[in-house]
Every structure is written in C-alpha cells, then in structure tokens.
Chains A and B, each alone.
Chain A
Amino acid sequence: MSEQLHDLRLTVNGVAHALRVPARRLLSDALRHDLGLTGTHVGCEHGVCGACTVLLDGLPTRSCLMFAVSAVDVDITTVEGLTEADGTLGAVQQAFLECHGLQCGFCTPGFLTTVTAGLRQHPTPTEDDARDMVAGNLCRCTGYTNIVRSVLRAAELAGGEA
C-alpha cells in the first residue's frame, strides 16, 4: 500500500510550511496532524457542520472537503491566525468571549473564521444578516442566540477599531 507522496508548501497564517503527504490527505488532517494546528476541528468530515472552516485567500472553506495538495498557492488562515500579533484577541474572538458565544468550544473555530470573513463582506450587519452569516455552521451547545449576539458585537468592536 505504498502511496505516492507529494511535496507541498502550505502558507498558513503567514508562515510557509513544507510537507510531504499522499494525494488523498485532507487539508483538515494536514493542518491538524502534519502541522500541529489543532485549532481547526473536524465534526463530520462531510462538509455539513462547518467546524473545520478555514479561510482560503480570505474566503471561508470547509477544510475537510479539500485535499491538502489543492491548497497550495493560497493564503490559509486558521483560528490560530485570528489572534492579533500582540497576543490580544481579535474583534470576533473578543465578541464571542463577551457574549458567551461558545460552550464546549468545539465548533467555535469554524464560527470564528466564518464570521471573520462575513464581517468583511457585511461590516455593519443587521440581525438578519448576522443570522445568515452563521447559517451554515452547526452548534450543539449554545442554541445560537449568543452566537448571533456575538456577530453583532464583533461588528461593533471592529467598527470601533477602524
């Protein structure tokens, strides 16, 4: 069962990584198990739950539905890349903290990346916009009420910084 291996360079959170993986290696597994960036979580492995969402050139993408070999030549941002350079929480992270937008935290990285991208498109969302923004991610703990509040608060925080 020896498999052909491929040498890749993945740029994740601004850092270039070299790795050698089989063609079938999922991007989610490459991030987690090859690069040790375990913040990206896998909840269903069929693209429905959204826990594995990362940003590819700023656009939210299910990393469990993509092979690592096809993620070259893009900038990948994972949840680890959302924290500010000085170690403080980014606006979206801070909003989820303030609004109790998480409980077990497993789906949280996918929400954080999704909302980060969403707010770039809709910097001043209405409540309906906020709900649309997170409508593709499953959370089993929070009942979503506080997640929607978090989106609106994140918009406020981001606006305040601008």
Chain B
Amino acid sequence: MTTKLFGQKVQRTEDQRFLRGQGRYVDDIAVGVGTLHAAVLRSPHAHARITDIDVGAVLDLDGVHLVWTHDDLTGPMADPLPLLIPHPALTHGRTQFALAKDEVNHVGEAIAFVVADDRYLAEDAVGRIRVTYDLLPAVVGIDAARAADRLVHDDVPGNVGARLEQENGDARAAIAASPHTLSLDLTVERSASMPLEGRGTVARWDPDVGRMTVWTSTQTSTGVRAAVAARLELDLGQVDVVTPDVGGGFGVKINHPWPEELLVPLAARQLGRTVKFTEDRREHFISSAHERGQVHHVEVGYDDDGRVLGLDVEFWHDHGAYTPYGLIVPIITSTQLLGPYKPGAYRVVFESLYTNTVMVTPYRGAGRPQGCYVMERTMDAIAAALGKDRAEVRAANFIQPDEFPFDQGLVFQDGRELEYDSGDYPASLAKLKELVGWDDFPAFREEMARQGRRVGIGLACYVEGTGVGPYEGAHVHVETSGKVKVATGLTTQGQGHATVFAQLVADVLGCRFEDVEVVTGDTRRMPYAVGTFASRAAVMSGSAIHLAATRAREKALRIAAEALEASVDDLEIVDGVVSVRGTEASIDLGTVAVLSNPLRYAFDEASKAATQFSVGDPGKPPVAEDDEPGLEGRDFYSPERSTFASGMHAVIVETDPETAEISILKYAVVHDCGRLINPMIVEGQIHGGVAQGIAGALYERMAYDDSGQLLNASFMDFLMPYVTEIPARIDIDHLETPSPLNPLGIKGAGEAGVIPSAAVFASAVSDAEQPYHPGLAITAMPISPSELFDLRRRHPATPVAQRSRDHEERP
C-alpha cells in the first residue's frame, strides 16, 4: 500500500462543522418543526414496591399529549428489557422494565413517561403524578451486598448474579510452594463515563411509507435498530437508526436499548408526531450507568527475584440493580489483570453482586483500570518486601518479545483465547525509565527533601485487548463527480473517524483526501455493524475500509485498463486520476465511475466525457454475470481474536506535608498501539485518557448514602477535572509493534490513557509517604487529600522516619 497519508498528523475534517456551531447532536435534530418533548418520572427511592400510580392530575393538562406507566405497555414493550450479552456464569441475570412494574431498585429508575408540547410542560406534568410506595431496605455497596441480610431481588439468593472462576495451572499449590507470599486487599470506587452530552433520542414515524427513523446518541446504531424493531414489532427493514454527532460516549452509550430509546419511537408512532427526549445532567447521574466499583483480595507467591510463581485473585463486582450488559466488566478485570506478565500459575474468581444503585456498564477502560491496579499494587508490594527496585521486579515478570503470540491460557471477554498478538515490554520499560528519569529520581527526591518537599514516583504497566470482534464492514462508493463516499456502521463520538478513515481511503484509492466523505453510524448506509467500544474502531472499521477501498481500486483499475487499452499493472492512481505510467493517457476516477455503470443517459458532464471511451465486449451483456454496475467496494473484516495494545505510565507526585494535597510534577506515557494512522489523534486520545485517569485516581467517586441516595449527582459535587487539575505537560513516547492480525498492523488507542492511572498514582503517593510514614500503603482509590491525611494519622512516623524528617529539616 502507499503510505502517503498513513502516519501523518492530518488535521481533522469534521472540525469545520464543530467550530462553526454546525455540529448536529441529537438535541439539534428536528428543532422548530412541531416536535414534542418527553420527560420521565423517576423513582426517588432506592428500593420500594409501587402500590399505586395516580396520573389523574396530568391527563387533561393543556399541552400534554401522552402519559404512560407500565400498565399502558403491551406486547414485547411490557417485558423486561433485553439481557444483551448472556453468559453461562450469569445464573441470575435481571433487567429493568421500560417503565417500572411493581418495584423500583434504584433511585432514578423510570416509572412514568410523559410527552408534551415542550420539556417544561412535560416536567410540570411529571411533577403532578402521584406514586405510592411501600419502602424496602436498600442494599448499598459491596459489603452490604455480600452480607446479604437484605436482598435486591427477592429471587436472587445472596445478591449474587454470577460467579466465574478461571485457572491456568494450580495457583494455590504454586503459592504454597513459593519462598515468599503476600496478601493484599484492594478497593476501587464507582465512577462514571460522564460525557458532556447526555443521552438523547428523537423518533419520527412516517405512515406513508411505514418507516420509523430514530436518531439517538448511541455507540451502536445497529443494536438500537434491532431493539426498536423487536420491541415495536416492526420488521428490521422498517427501522432506520441514525447516529449524528455524539458529544462523548466513553462507554455509557454502548448500553441499549435505554427505556427512552423504545418509548420515544413508540410515542412517535402513536402520536404521529416527532418526539424527542434529551436527558438532563441529574438524570444522567441517576439513570444511566456507572462503573469501577470492585473489592479485590490477592494471594501471591514469588521467588527471590520477585518472579510471581502463583497468583490467586478473588474479587467482588458491584453491578448495581440490573445486568443488561452481562459480565463484560468483571471478565475483563479477571483476564486483563495479568498485563504484560506471565505468572507461573493464575487463578481468578469473581462474584458479580446486586445492589440498589445505578447499573454498571463499561466505562472507558472497562474493568482494566481495576485489574491493572490490582496487579501493579501486587508488583509494588513484592518489590517493597524484597527491597528491590519496582521496575526491576516488573521486568522479571515480563513476557519476552520472542514469546509472541503468547497464550495466557484464559478465555477473554469475546469467548476467544486470551492470546497476545505482539509487543515488546522490555523496550517500553526502557523508554519509560528514560522519559520520566527513573534512575535520576533518588537524587531528585533528596534534593526535594532538603527543601522540605515530599515527592514520590510510581509506574504502572498494562496490556489492553483492543479491536475485539466479531466484525465491521465498509462501503466505498466513487461518485461520477470523483467524490468518494465511505460508510461504516460503527459510530463516532469524537475520535476523528471521518479523518483517519479518509486517510486510509485516499491512500488506497489514490483519490484526493478532500474528496472523501465518511459516514458512520447510519443504518441506511451500512446496516451491518457492531459498535464503537473497546478501542475497536480503527482496527475493525479501519481494516474493513481498507479492504473495501482495495476492492474499489481493483475495479477502477480493471475498467480504466479497458478504457485506456492498457494493462492494469501499468496503471497508477494519483489525485483521483488513473494514468498509464510514463504516458499522457489518463482518465478521471469519476469518469471510471460513469463507465462502471452502463446506463445510456448523458445526464452530466462526466457522462458526456465517458462517451469517448468504449468499454465492454459488444458480444456480451453490459453487466457481466460476476460484476455489478457502479464503482463501489464493500467488504467486512472479522479477526480471529483481539489485538493487544500495551503501555506504561509513570508519574512523579508531590504530597504536601501539612495539607496532604497531591500534585503532579511529571507525567510520562509510553504507548504501543501498533502502527499509528494519525499520531495527532492518537496523542489526543492519550491526553484525554490520562485526564480521565487522573480524575478516577484523585477525584471522581459516586457518593451514595446508606439509603441509596446519590449525594453528588451534579457537576458541582462530582469532581470532574478542569484544566486546573491536569498537568501542563504529558510526555509521550510511542513504540510500534505492528499487529499481525490486520492488514494495517494497527491496534486500538482509545482507552489506553485511563487504564494505569489508579495504579500509577497509588504507587507514587505511597512512595512519597513511606519514608515519613512507614507501613502506609494506598489500597483504596481514588485517594483524596483528607483520606491521605487520615492514613498518615493511622501510620504515625516511627523514630526511623522521624530521623529522616529531622534530616529533611536540616538546612
């Protein structure tokens, strides 16, 4: 392939629209055309039986068109929402109803649905609905779920939705036989994706043609389409789902269908009007999805070099009130926990537990931040116990570059073997140590101590399964104007797909980059697709687009060769012109597109120009049996298994001796996502991921009280970082180990930045504190200044540490 644009920092084409205020997000659709607006009555209680709903005060209100409770739903709409990804271990899967039937299981669960002339009136109406509840005790947090003296669902014993165990070797025997052993308990709290644009859905029913069009802010248009068709009892061919610009997803928009994604189309069909639902911020907190909440127990056995001989991890995953997305998050934690290491033997078992809180679906990183945190804290603990350098202990456990493909002997989230395709972890570590100044740090620490400043350094390594299957497809169409229209079915939520995919097409097809237009997430243009999650877009759709563009190129060359009376081997395509190398003979791609369609109407200049070429054997049909009219290419990419990107982060922090405030002095990233299509966009993904990781490590948590009320359900109380919390510089270095699994050698880059953050900060803050407070270990994330302050009080300075402090205070 040519590499003209591949690897270049090409500026994003989609930005023109966004910068001019011409983006089209869901709430921008159908503005000012008599659209009706929906609002949802949500439960104020975490756990209650509904004994009565009185909508009498609402029905006759001016401007209110429709009020529904569960009793108004019929057929499949009255059933529980689908359990999207069943798993044999999920023995007690439960999903919510589109509108609660008899019982609510978390604050925010949808109870009634109102459609009115505008959102203000719809909210007025919601406020007049009277619900009578019989309150039940709430189960909040993993401890309460495990205690199981109260149940979330009466028919789920012990609040256990699933239990899954995997083992490679005999881990417990290996630990028992090890020269050294350690136990650790490690906790991560809940956070959430929190895109700036919440969820939203618009639907329009066209009775003249019997078609439903749904615009929704989703990460999977095809999934929503199938769900709408099934629940509204329409044929799939009657439903189009269009995903316009999406204001961030980060995982939360992969779940589907949300109740509103079914209720809005149903209302649109019943009312014969366009209906819109736009989530507000509080609704997003209490009725979308969270992630991260897990408690882990580790037993590890290791030798004198720090090599892990046996690793046994048991953890408990808080999946909230329902399990629509199955066990993806804990399965990823349990498998990706191993990172770049190869323990002698590994056993992992988790229980996925019900609580009366918002349900859990994947959030950027999807279970990997927890797994990385557990493994890296274990590596730090081994290093501390042996008195060894933390980087050295990690290096002793790395899979070596000549060991790929490397089979970890487990089953991954996609049901395939957990087999790493490629990587070079020692090279990454060498780059990271150089980038952060690992070997110079002791001198820096001493210098800082002389100034009365406390600093610490941490590092963390991860491997990320990216580009998960099963498939994506692409369609490439060269218009008679020479413009190239590309469609792929997965969605876009800010990753610059329109640009990187156009780079791939321009390279393969030889057309001008400016002539390529990419459409994503529109089932009318590409009805077969999976979705945008798990850093899969570039790998999956990128590969499919490469293959489809290759097909279009082959066809273009075949037709052009005939028109130019030349051999295909002598042709080249540059800037949209096919020419015979070394001659003046050439033909525009647009003209080739005209020739590809033997339609005998000269409807434009391009078709007139095409008449000078004579193509085809007059003795044969105009379209051969094995051909199709049109200059198009369509193909699908379906990999055997996931690609495995990897990386390592290091951070230098300073902790204030008095206030325990934690500040970042240096942040370094080494990243390997295979070949980079557009380094500018990859770095942007890393910047964003690191910021989200810092958020998760130091700030963001879901503060539930014991009754299941989310106390910080606003941007005033849930601490998302502003620029003031993010370091001015993030140093990034790339390593490129191409994946052998796809034609481009790429791996995904979307989530990497966020994965090691909890681990790297736990390591660095512990490192800063331990000289002063021996025994102080960070075992629960996020870590706030007040929590660090409390840890200091529980680990008072020993005489040794006091001496060190005295030393620090000497001039």
A positions within 8 Å CB-CB of B: 1-2, 22, 24-25, 29, 32-34, 36-46, 48-49, 51, 78-80, 82-83, 89, 93, 96-98, 100, 102-109, 112, 127, 131, 134-148
Task: Indicate with 1 or 0, residue by residue over B698-732, a CB within 8 angstroms of chain A CB atoms.
Answer: 00000000000000001110001011101011100
On whether A131 and B723 interact (CB within 8 A), knowing A1-B121, A105-B23, the answer reads: yes
What are 5 of the A-B contact pairs (CB < 8 Å)? Answer: A32-B27, A79-B19, A106-B197, A131-B728, A134-B723
Structural contact, B21 and A135, CB atoms closer than 8 A: no
Which residue of A is nearest B248, CB measured? A104
B494 contacts which of A43, A98, A105, A147 (Cβ < 8 Å)?
A105
A sample of 15 more A-B contacts (CB under 8 A), given A38-B27, A105-B494, A143-B726, is A39-B23, A41-B25, A43-B247, A46-B281, A80-B20, A97-B11, A100-B11, A104-B493, A106-B196, A108-B18, A108-B19, A134-B723, A140-B248, A140-B692, A142-B684
Which residues of A lie under 8 Å from residue B688 when comparing CB positions? 103, 140-143
Q: Is the CB of A46 within 8 A of B21?
A: no
The residues of B that contact A37 with a CB separation of less than 8 Å are 21
- Interface contact A48-B714, CB-CB below 8 Å: yes
Q: Cβ of B562: which chain A residues have Cβ within 8 Å of it?
A: none
Residues of B within 8 A of A138 (CB): 196, 715, 720, 722
Complex-state Cα separation, A83 to B15, whole angstroms: 13
B634 in contact (CB, < 8 A): no
Residues of B near A34 (CB, < 8 A) are 32
Instruction: Select from chain B the residue with minimum beta-carbon distance to A48.
Output: B715
Task: Collect the chain A residues with CB atoms within 8 Å of residue B22's CB.
Answer: 39, 80
- Asked whether any CB of chain A lies closer than 8 Å to the CB of B690, the reply is yes
- On chain A, the residues within 8 Å of B62 by CB distance are 1-2
A109 to B18 CA separation, bound complex (whole angstroms) = 8
For the complex, give the distance between the alpha carbons of A83 and B691 in Å: 30
The yes or no answer to B775 lying at the interface (CB within 8 A) is no
Q: Encode contact with A along B96-140: 1 for CB under 8 Å, 0 otherwise.
A: 000000000000000000000011110010000000000000000
Query: Cβ of B318 < 8 Å from any Cβ of A?
Result: no
Contact of B687 among A83, A93, A145 (CB under 8 A): A145
Cα–Cα, bound, A39→B25 (Å): 10
B554 within 8 A of A: no
Beta-carbon contact of A144 and B691 below 8 Å? yes
Question: Is B374's CB within 8 Å of the partner chain A?
Answer: no
Structural contact, A43 and B197, CB atoms closer than 8 A: yes
CA distance A103 to B27 in the complex (A): 18
With a cutoff of 8 Å between Cβ atoms, the chain A residues found around residue B121 in the complex are 1
Of the residues B14, B15, B61, B248, contact of A96 by C-beta under 8 Å: B15
Closest partner residue, chain A, to B495 (CB atom): A103
Across-interface contacts of B691 in A (CB, < 8 A): 142-144
A contact residues around B720 at 8 Å (CB): 138, 140
Top 4 nearest A-B pairs (CB, nearest first) are A39-B21, A104-B494, A106-B247, A105-B18
The answer to whether A100 touches B495 (Cβ under 8 A) is: no
Q: How far is the CA of A24 from the CA of B119 in the complex (A)?
A: 12
| CB <8 Å contact, A140 and B723 | no
Are A145 and B494 in contact (CB-based, < 8 A)?
no
| Pairwise interchain contact A98-B11, C-beta atoms closer than 8 A | yes
Q: Is B496 an interface residue (CB 8 A)?
A: yes
Complex partner residue of A104 from B16, B246, B683, B726, CB under 8 angstroms = B246
Expressed in whole angstroms, the Cα–Cα distance for A32 and B680 within the complex equals: 32
| B692: A residues at CB distance < 8 A | 140, 143
Contacts of B722 in A (CB 8 A): 135-138, 144
Residues of B within 8 A of A131 (CB): 723-724, 728
User: Among A29, A39, A44, which residue has its beta carbon within 8 angstroms of that of B281?
Assistant: A44
Q: Which residue of A lies closest to B250 (CB)?
A: A140
> Is B286 on the interface with A (CB-CB < 8 A)?
no
How many angstroms from the CA of A22 to the CA of B62 in the assembled complex?
Answer: 15
- B19 CB contact (under 8 Å) in A25, A102, A127, A147: A102
Q: B49 on the interface (CB 8 Å rule)?
A: no
Q: In the complex, which residue of chain B has the Cβ closest to the Cβ of A87? A: B20
**Contact between chains at A100 and B681 (CB < 8 Å):** yes
Q: B723–A135 contact, CB under 8 A?
A: yes
The answer to whether the Cβ of B445 comes within 8 Å of any Cβ in the partner chain is no
Pair B196/A89 contact, Cβ less than 8 Å? no
What separation, in Å, do the CA atoms of A106 and B15 have in the docked complex?
Answer: 11
User: Does chain A have a CB within 8 A of B670?
Assistant: no
In the complex formed, the residue of A with least CB distance to B686 is A143
Chain B stretch 235-289: residues in CB contact (< 8 A) with chain A: 245-248, 250, 280-281
B124 engages A49 (CB within 8 Å):
no
Shortest CB-to-CB span from A60 to chain B, Å, is 15
**Which has the most chain B C-beta neighbours within 10 Å: A32, A97, A102?**
A102
Among residues of A, the one whose C-beta sits closest to the C-beta of B496 is A103
- Residues 32-54 (chain B) with a chain A CB within 8 angstroms: 32
Q: Which residues of B contact A79 (CB under 8 A)?
A: 19-21
CA A6 – CA B753 in complex, angstroms?
Answer: 50
Q: B63 contacts the other chain (Cβ, under 8 Å)?
A: yes
- Contact in complex: A1, B19 (CB < 8 Å): no
Taking a contact as CB atoms closer than 8 A, the residue among A42, A78, A103, A109 that contacts B684 in the complex is A103
Taking the complex as formed, is B12 at the interface, i.e. its CB lies under 8 A from any CB of chain A?
A: yes
